[in-house]
Structure 1
Amino acid sequence: MACQHDAAYTIFEDQGRQLRAANQPGLQDALKRADCLVDLAGLMDDDPALRFILPGSHSRFAPLHETLGLPMLLRLDWEDRRVPPVGLAFWEKLWELLPEGVTVFACCGGHGRTGTALAAMLIARGMDPEEAIEYVRRMHCRLAIETPGQEAYLRSLR
């Protein structure tokens, strides 16, 4: 049986920010719980209502998500089973940009990219990479962080 991740529980919480996880099958339920969605796989490409919603001053459409009661949408799309094209400074800055409340990280299966992003966020908050990998697998899903390359990427962040 395949996993379904729908952001029903918090994986990590700090400074009023809750990090949760979702996959494509659980995305609609996850959106009901989210203040912010970090789309790691282009899942929202087909939704014209969300396509142009960007955080902060980057877009004149930015307030639209609040007006419509939709989560803020951030996008970091990278190839499945690969690593993101960013370093530790990106994850540290992303933490600063996240709103208080629930942020959902989502990719197709909710394991590789989602697990890698969650662990990277923990490392950005000061957790040791090995601890972050183990923590995400324990608190989110044992299948999280799918490849040796993703593990190596996380270890390289410190």
Structure 2
Amino acid sequence: MCKEPESWEPQEYLVRFPDGRQVRGSSLKRSESLVPPDFGVYLLGRDPKCTDREYLWVKWRDFSAPAVTEDAVASLREAYRRAAYQRVEVGCRGGVGRTGTALAVMAVLGGVEPDAAVLWVRTNYHPKAVETAGQRRWLSELLPQLGGPENRRSSK
């Protein structure tokens, strides 16, 4: 049985997806001063070695797409699943490009149409989210595969 997630404090960089799940987008530096999540996904060139939370590390260099798409998607699906009952954070060094790109993937899992995901994240998270042409290209190839209702259902 799934329980409701503990509440985040107000104004903690929360993104609420259309299905009601919430995820905190963050930079690692900002995250250190906030309430720790129950679970995090960190998109970095090297393992952040967090000791105060359960997390997954996705190898993802700054201003690029993830090193292994399958690893990134599996980690983001897990974060999305856990957001139904835990406080979940997704973050990178700056909290904008890679984090915004990951939140676009999660937005599609949460009900946003694939072709609207980048604009949705820029409106609901950060106006400069998904910073590079490579990140936009990666999303344009990936999101249509995630976008069907049958794929969304398997993510919940």
TM-score by length of 2: 0.69
**Separation of aligned partners in 1, 2:78 and 2:31:** 25
Rg larger for: 1
Q: Which amino acid is 2:59 matched to?
A: D
Matched, 1:80 2:62: yes
Q: What's the Cα RMSD here?
A: 2.6
Q: Is the 8 A contact 2:47 2:57 kept in 1?
A: no
Per-residue Cα deviation, 1:114-153 (whole angstroms, up to 9, x for no partner): 0111101112334222311011111111111000111111
Change over 3 Å in CA distance of 1:133–1:117 after alignment to 2 = same
1:29-40 matches, cutoff 5 A: 29-30=33-34, 32-40=35-43
Report what 2:118 is aligned to. 133
Q: Count the aligned residue pairs.
A: 129
Gaps of 5+ in 1: 1-6, 51-69
**Separation of aligned partners in 2, 1:129 and 1:109:** 24
**Separation of aligned partners in 2, 1:28 and 1:89:** 25
Q: Is the 8 A contact 2:40 2:89 kept in 1?
A: yes
Report what 1:20 is aligned to. 24
Report what 1:106 is aligned to. 91
Query: Per the alignment, in what secondary structure is the counterpart of residue 39 of structure 1?
Result: strand
Q: How far 1:15 sits from its partner (Å)?
A: 6.4
TM-score by length of 1: 0.68
Change over 3 Å in CA distance of 1:43–1:92 after alignment to 2 = closer
Per-residue Cα deviation, 1:71-126 (whole angstroms, up to 9, x for no partner): 32121121111112215963445533556132111101111110111101112334
Gaps of 5+ in 2: 1-10, 145-156
Q: Is the 8 A contact 1:24 1:109 kept in 2?
A: yes
Query: Per the alignment, in what secondary structure is the counterpart of residue 135 of structure 2?
Result: helix
Percent identity, aligned pairs only?
28
**Separation of aligned partners in 2, 1:19 and 1:114:** 11
